[in-house]
Structure 1
């Protein structure tokens, strides 16, 4: 997709790579990743074998990123958190792409520069690795001892932008998400990713969408790796009408992508790499901002329903069942692909792989008695086919359903 310099905040252009990379997404969303209730300490990952504690992992900045033009919105260096693998996982890699919404105009992107989502100056110097990033066998039985990376998100466009700079009220903005992706991958290749025998690219929400976009590119980076697969968590955003009958999300974020919007249901038609779709049928973020956005003027009853699915009446549940149907229609084309996996539960939740109590615990959601971690592991290691699609709400008593005091913020 060619971008004009006069409309930097509207268009993104392609900068090499596969056709999937050039697919630009026109939805904005936020990720709220819960921090586990573990006592955190700095120690070696091997100690997880005899521990019940998760681990804090330091932030690494990409020192040569500036010469590659790979910069956060404010011009600071991009970064990631890297936990070295050990034992049988020493030559296996799991890369997680952080999410955190899009900034749809210069005003919002400028404000984002003052946060960890636009500047490495504001990023935490250490973060806990839990869920799919955990180094605890009890939490993460299949990937606990792999090399694991959390890639920080600071470009505001799911690692997809590639334009020069623009000015806004005397400050400079850098839209360099694609260059950030390339610079961090280059750095990781030098640290051992190039010699990986197995690799998994994953991400949550905005990072899940980035996983759809970059999956085939990731595979292309590792031509000698025996097994390369991808898994998107909560990134299958729907192009559906809201309760007022409008495509309000499409219209609202047409500022981000002026020429054309691509949704995951279109992107997945082009992905060649084995892929796993992890998505709740009643994604809480989408219920609040796709089905019942503020611009649709939700009634008082809808305001209660969008905060707590148990407070939805029968008519509202019927609307949400339509959302579930749209999701299942969107993935129908890949349900028969033998090397693809699916786990669609009936929970009112958003992003499940980075929460220890959802990924793999005695209280985790299950379909056919499998936790999400077990389902993903069975798919990745070809232990069994995984096409797990839950029944309609409220059929699954193992679901963990969020209750909000206020909706997710845009």
Structure 2
């Protein structure tokens, strides 16, 4: 299971590919290229470092795989879609701290990011026979780490199913488990844990499926 690991090859609000540049540097620094999937690298031979991005390597993964992610993943929101280098005047500061403070233009950008993520996941959603997914619309990052978001009375839900229930259905083969949420702000079960407002008092998670 991948929790908050579906990082997009996104174009930021300044029309730059900040995450692609970062990944290229990371692959070079750590010498990762020799360990990337060979089939993926052949498909992206002009730029094999793209195979460090989940959206490009996903179709080559044969291991049963569950993807847990928010379409408004706050780490990607703050560092991929609106990195500091793309917002030197701070126009996005209030929106980053509270989604209700986003203006219509900013909300359009966030909805565009959601569309890009769902587009990147669609082949997996339609064609993977062993895969599962829980793609919600909460402003959060890493939702399996806290009991509050994993399996509690008020945990986030899609179609009245918690993350733990969705993962359990997939893991034990009880039923097809591919859940996609509606767009912000329709999901009233979200905790919207923006990093600067997350409480330091975190309960241990009980990884019950």
Q: Report TM bin, short chain.
A: 0.7 to 0.9
| 2: CA distance, partners of 1:363 / 1:298 | 38
Q: Are 1:292 and 1:298, in contact at CA under 8 Å, matched by a contact in 2?
A: no
Shift of the alpha carbon at 1:299? 3.9
Matches within 5 A, 1:17-166: none
Deviation per CA, 1:142-183: give whole Å up to 9, x if none: xxxxxxxxxxxxxxxxxxxxxxxxxxxxxxxxxxxxxxxxxx
Q: 44, 56, 64: which one pairs with 1:274? A: 64
Q: Are 1:347 and 1:401, in contact at CA under 8 Å, matched by a contact in 2?
A: yes
Larger Rg: 1
Deviation per CA, 1:337-387: give whole Å up to 9, x if none: 222111100000000011110000011000000000001001111111111
> Is the aligned partner of 1:252 residue 2:43?
no
Q: Are 1:282 and 1:348, in contact at CA under 8 Å, matched by a contact in 2?
A: yes
RMSD over aligned Cα, in angstroms? 1.5
> Is the aligned partner of 1:357 residue 2:148?
yes
Higher strand share: 1
Please give the TM-score of this superposition, normalised by the length of structure 1: 0.41
Higher helix share: 2
Q: 181, 191, 194: which one pairs with 1:400? A: 191
Q: Are 2:50 and 2:56, in contact at CA under 8 Å, matched by a contact in 1?
A: no
Q: Are 1:308 and 1:402, in contact at CA under 8 Å, matched by a contact in 2?
A: no
Please give the TM-score of this superposition, normalised by the length of structure 2: 0.80
| 2: CA distance, partners of 1:255 / 1:404 | 25
* Structure 1 unaligned spans of 5+: 1-230
Question: Residue in 1 aligned with 2:169?
Answer: 378
> Is the aligned partner of 1:235 residue 2:5?
yes
| 2: CA distance, partners of 1:383 / 1:298 | 49
> Is the aligned partner of 1:388 residue 2:179?
yes
Q: Are 1:308 and 1:404, in contact at CA under 8 Å, matched by a contact in 2?
A: no
Number of aligned positions between the proteins? 176
| 1: CA distance, partners of 2:140 / 2:172 | 27
| 2: CA distance, partners of 1:390 / 1:265 | 19
Shift of the alpha carbon at 1:297? 2.3
| 2: CA distance, partners of 1:393 / 1:299 | 26
